[in-house]
Structure 1
Amino acid sequence: MPGLISAMEGFCVIGIVIGVGYVAARMRIGGPQAQHVLNRLSFFVASPCLMFDILADEKITEIFHPSIVVAFLSAMAVGVIFLILNRLYFHLKAPDATIGALNSLYLNSNNIGLPIATYILGNPALVAPILVMQQALFTPVGLTVLDVTTKGKVSLKAILKQPLHQPLLIGTVLGILVSFVNAKFGFAVVPDYIRTPISMIGDAAVPMILMAFGMSLHGTRPMQEKGDRPAIITVAVLKNVVMPIVAFLLAYFMMGFRGPVLYACVVLAALPTGQNVYNYAARYNVGLQFARDGILVSTVTSPIFIAIIAAVLS
């Protein structure tokens, strides 16, 4: 079972670095702001450099692979399922229901997706279409709904400016543009003395992401609100179980994918909820604990289901 062995080795690498971050936080190495600093450096500097460096060398056809159809439809499916279940059972208010839907469909394509794509799937560029899809589509739609349900109005200016506040999206788009220009002219348009420092900075992204995540686990006490537990558990099941199943059905029967492409579609669908959802909840001051606990539960349980996927599909 080479796929399972590769997944376990990848999780071992990821787990060790996360563990280092946890120990560092426990020993208070770096002070109380260490996690915050690592997160900001990764988000604003290292990760955009990494995405640019990866995509600048990728072919456009690989960046916009048909697998993006699977990612989009499977995400939409679980989001709709949550909204239906909320209408029938949870009866959350509209802003909280929006956070729940985002918790169900939003993939952690950066903090967890990049390491998994790098160390388990062997190609970090696989997360690029998901990143573009989420930042260019799901984020504006989600923020629009939150604007309407919390303020009673839509701030079109804020929605249109949203991509400008997403460094990962900017790095991704610039990388895609360079890839397109390289293909058109037949040579690398960005000289090595510029690409090399970008590559060096980008190489620091994944370790910083994982250590910061490990630091965030220290002192965490989830599931404190009993009333939210059924919805939180539902979100985790939708994200880590239902979404990969839907992705498999779509990839296998609708798109006809087999082998590594099918494997990548299902593994990426099993990624935990993206931490962006908590940022959106904090911005509108709705569903804060719901967002945090949903992210944490799906993040802790995601490796189990990815290991199962590796065992089955390998």
Structure 2
Amino acid sequence: MNIMVLIETMVVLFVIMLIGYILNKLGILRAESNDVLSELIVKVTGPVLVVSSVCSTNEMTDKNQIIKIFFIGILLYVVLIAFSQIVIKLFCANDESKNIYSLMLVFTNTSFVGYPVLRALYGDYAIFASAILHMPFNVLIYSYGVYMIQNKGDLKRKFRIEDVLNVGVIAAIIALVIFLLGIEVPQTIQKILSMIGDITIPLSMMLIGSSLALIPIKYVFSNIKIYIVSFIKLIIMPLIAYFIANLFTSDSFIIAQLTIATALPAGSMIVMLTTQYKGNVKAASIGVFITTVLSVVTIPLMIYLLLT
């Protein structure tokens, strides 16, 4: 396991985010362009990446393991949502950004950070397995995530069917059908999906940087609660996941998937959706920025301590 390759991957993602910050300060990216980029990522490139990650991998060497990972993923997100609510009630009950903090604990950067990290450590098969593990992510981020973002206070808004029937959820369903039915996607279509989906990673990181450039720097260092949430997210959660996983399975690959999944920084999709649905973009951008920067150190540390 090459820790230096992992560190290099984290640094590259951070630099792309920094480029987005600089482009905004130079006036090349603006608030209006952030809205356009967000809509492009949320409605086009992000969903395409979900489908691409499933249909472009042929290394299904252990279908039983993949099926097991799928059901573990469902349980994982049930536990994450429950855990996030407990943490928020303990530390951020009266904070106006509590719903964003909750989403930070549930939805990690599974694709934009997770895929490069997994590829560096375990190869392409790990990316496919991660896509299956996080299949609930794609349903929940566009339903539960939007629900939380649009409720800036307590959960009072009635749930609507359109919260679920959107392009992100449809993409997740298509990906699951492709896997379960073993559909062979033509190489030409795979290449098209891959090229469009791969745009998501640099665009999302630049959007995070550009969004952060609109926030006075003092807010990044003045919010103590965001650092408490970040510590829980990056240190406490992977430790808990690692030891609980060891109680229920001896499969080292599944243990690694769960540990890495919970060690990742807050998902950049939170920024995309808060921008798209007019939520608390400032809190989301700061949370993603801080956890991403800290994860350059914490991810290699957690992997070194727990998985090597």
Instruction: Calculate the TM-score normalised by the size of structure 2.
Output: 0.76
Q: Per-residue CA shift, 1:101-147, capped at 9, x if unaligned?
A: 33333323344334434455534334424543234347645666788
Structure index of larger Rg: 1
* CA–CA separation in structure 1 for the residues paired with 2:202 and 2:151: 38
* CA–CA separation in structure 1 for the residues paired with 2:155 and 2:203: 39
Q: Per-residue CA shift, 1:41-74, capped at 9, x if unaligned?
A: 3332223222212212455656544352673365
Aligned partner letter, 1:299? T
* Percent of aligned pairs sharing the same letter: 20
Q: Which residue of 2 aligns with 1:240?
A: 234
Report the CA distance between 1:243 and its aligned residue.
Answer: 1.0
Q: Which residue of 2 aligns with 1:43?
A: 42
**Are the aligned partners of 1:10 and 1:116 in contact in 2 as well (CA < 8 Å)?**
yes
**Are the aligned partners of 1:112 and 1:271 in contact in 2 as well (CA < 8 Å)?**
yes
Q: Which residue of 1 aligns with 2:300?
A: 307
**Are the aligned partners of 2:245 and 2:258 in contact in 1 as well (CA < 8 Å)?**
yes
Aligned partner letter, 2:238? P
Structure 1 residue 75 and structure 2 residue 80: aligned?
Answer: yes
Q: Which residue of 2 aligns with 1:255?
A: 249
Aligned partner letter, 1:41? L
Q: Which residue of 1 aligns with 2:166?
A: 165
Aligned partner letter, 1:178? I
Aligned partner letter, 2:260? V
Report the CA distance between 1:254 and its aligned residue.
Answer: 2.3
* CA–CA separation in structure 1 for the residues paired with 2:226 and 2:67: 33
**Are the aligned partners of 1:70 and 1:251 in contact in 2 as well (CA < 8 Å)?**
no
* CA–CA separation in structure 2 for the residues paired with 1:18 and 1:162: 29
**Are the aligned partners of 2:34 and 2:210 in contact in 1 as well (CA < 8 Å)?**
yes
Q: What is the aligned length?
A: 299
Q: Which residue of 1 aligns with 2:3?
A: 4
Aligned partner letter, 1:128? A
Q: Per-residue CA shift, 1:152-209, capped at 9, x if unaligned?
A: 85523x2x22232352x322321221232336xxxx2x44443332233223232322
Q: Which residue of 2 aligns with 1:203?
A: 198
In the TM superposition, 1:17-166 aligns within 5 A as: 17-29=16-28, 33-58=32-57, 59=60, 61=64, 64-66=67-69, 67-68=72-73, 71-72=76-77, 75-76=80-81, 78-86=83-91, 90-92=92-94, 96-119=97-120, 121-123=122-124, 124-129=127-132, 131-137=134-140, 140-141=143-144, 153-156=156-159, 158=160, 160-166=161-167
Q: Which residue of 1 aligns with 2:207?
A: 212
**Are the aligned partners of 1:146 and 1:284 in contact in 2 as well (CA < 8 Å)?**
yes
In structure 2, the CA distance between the partners of 1:41 and 1:147, relative to structure 1 (3 Å rule), is: closer
**Are the aligned partners of 2:110 and 2:267 in contact in 1 as well (CA < 8 Å)?**
yes
* CA–CA separation in structure 2 for the residues paired with 1:215 and 1:148: 25
* CA–CA separation in structure 2 for the residues paired with 1:290 and 1:304: 22
Structure 1 unaligned residues grouped into runs of 5+: none
In structure 2, the CA distance between the partners of 1:68 and 1:26, relative to structure 1 (3 Å rule), is: same
In structure 2, the CA distance between the partners of 1:36 and 1:62, relative to structure 1 (3 Å rule), is: farther
Report the CA distance between 1:251 and its aligned residue.
Answer: 1.8
Report the CA distance between 1:38 and its aligned residue.
Answer: 3.6
* CA–CA separation in structure 2 for the residues paired with 1:100 and 1:277: 10
In structure 2, the CA distance between the partners of 1:63 and 1:161, relative to structure 1 (3 Å rule), is: farther
Instruction: Calculate the TM-score normalised by the size of structure 1.
Output: 0.75
In the TM superposition, 1:175-194 aligns within 5 A as: 175-182=175-182, 188=184, 190-194=185-189
Report the CA distance between 1:271 and its aligned residue.
Answer: 1.5
Q: Per-residue CA shift, 1:234-261, capped at 9, x if unaligned?
A: 2111111111111111222223332x43
Secondary structure of the residue aligned to 2:182 is helix
Structure 2 unaligned residues grouped into runs of 5+: none
In structure 2, the CA distance between the partners of 1:122 and 1:291, relative to structure 1 (3 Å rule), is: same
Q: Per-residue CA shift, 1:13-55, capped at 9, x if unaligned?
A: 3344334434433444466644444433333222322221221
